Amino acid sequence: MGGRNYSDLNSVVLAASCYREIGERVYSMDRECAYLYGRTLLNLINFSHLAQINITIVGAAAMVALLACFFYLIFIASPKSFTSQMQIFLMLISPCFWLLFERGNFDWLVFILIFLGVLTLRTRLEILGVILIGISGLIKFYSLPLLLLIPFIMKNRLSRLASIVAFIALLPMTLEDISLIKTFPNPVFAAFGSPALGLWANIFSQQFNFGFKLSDFNAHILGLIIFVSAVSLVLYSNQMRSRLGLSLHSRDYSKVKSLYIIFSGTYLINYLAGMNYDYRLIFLVASLILCSRVNPELFSNGLFQIIAQSSLWLTFFYFGIPGAINALAVLGNIAQGLMAVIIAYQIIGYLDLFHPLSLLKKLTKVHANN
């Protein structure tokens, strides 16, 4: 259990060893050698000879590196009040970290690549940032759309173009990897995503003999419809924005705001893509930490904090309370959906998507290098 075996890490390292022998057949294996991610990760593991290192050492080093990234985010966010510091502390000890530390899933590597990539986007090495984020997309797919988001926070037109070209070039490779995967897991427990409410409806229908069942596709479509409707409501409801403390600050794209936009976008991509295991809520935690600096009024709003903490704590980890799993997990999935709506509103505002002409000018403007 826990950090003694790092089951996901061990499984992928084993799949990399199998990949040297049986190639793409790892995508059709059921148990031993089974694999569900990009071939780039297998090649990286084999190139680095990771399989020759004790898996416990690799897992522990990965978790230490991940925590170092989070401590840096806290450092640059610099939460001033004791209340904000305690809220961030609760986020750092939430179940998504327990699950990631237990399984050692390679989302820790995706997080670190995105983190390092964004740090270079406001420097002369911003092309390196494109490369790192592109590699992360080849590993786990969900970060590839970030290549279409990062041009909004890059310095010059050439780099923006390079990011878009990189997305176009890497998309066929990603789609080819996805086509090799026979089936993706579709979890309900310890998972979040836009199809969640439809999948819970199926579970309750089965338990209480309501006689209906939504397909995975229909559950996903229902979730997307609810999401779009909720975002539209927030966009047009001054009262709702006021209740949540939703306001936008017109500041330059600082390093903090760039990290905030990218990590928020990563969580949103995961939420809209479908069901994801809760360890990917680490991207939401990163977004929330940075929110304490980018939008302190929102972060200190009581209702927002209830939603934020619920989205992280009300998961499959139900603290041994008999019969509580369904109620707590459903509330957690609702809270995660509300966080996706709030984040979508924030991204739309910060990227000036309210005003397409202003956005076009921003994207075509040439910035001078600092």
Top-ranked range on mean pLDDT: pick from 195-204, 230-239, 281-290: 281-290
Alpha-carbon span 17 to 367, nearest angstrom: 46
CB of 151 closer than 8 Å to CB of 164: yes
SS3 214: coil
Domain that holds residue 134: 2-364
Question: Would you say residue 78 lies in a domain?
Answer: yes
- On whether residue 71 sits in a domain, the answer given is yes
Whether 54 is in a domain gets the answer yes
Task: Please report whether residue 369 resides in a domain.
Answer: no
Per-residue pLDDT of 152-195, as tens digits, reads 887 778 888 899 999 999 999 999 999 998 777 777 778 899 99
Q: Residue 223 and residue 338: Cα distance in Å, rounded?
A: 12
Residue 9 lies in a domain: yes
Kindly state whether residue 30 falls inside one of the protein's structural domains: yes
Q: Is residue 370 part of a domain?
A: no
Asked if the structure places residue 135 within a domain, the reply is yes
Beta strands in 194-300 (DSSP E): 276-277
Predicted confidence (pLDDT) per residue in 20-66, tens digit: 999 999 998 877 888 999 999 999 999 999 889 999 999 999 999 99
Per the DSSP assignment, residues forming a β-bridge with 277 are 191
How many helical (H) and strand (E) elements, i.e. helices and strands, does the chain have?
A: 18, 2
> What CA–CA distance (Å, rounded) separates 53 from 32?
20
240: tokens are: 């709702």
The number of distinct structural domains making up the chain is: 1
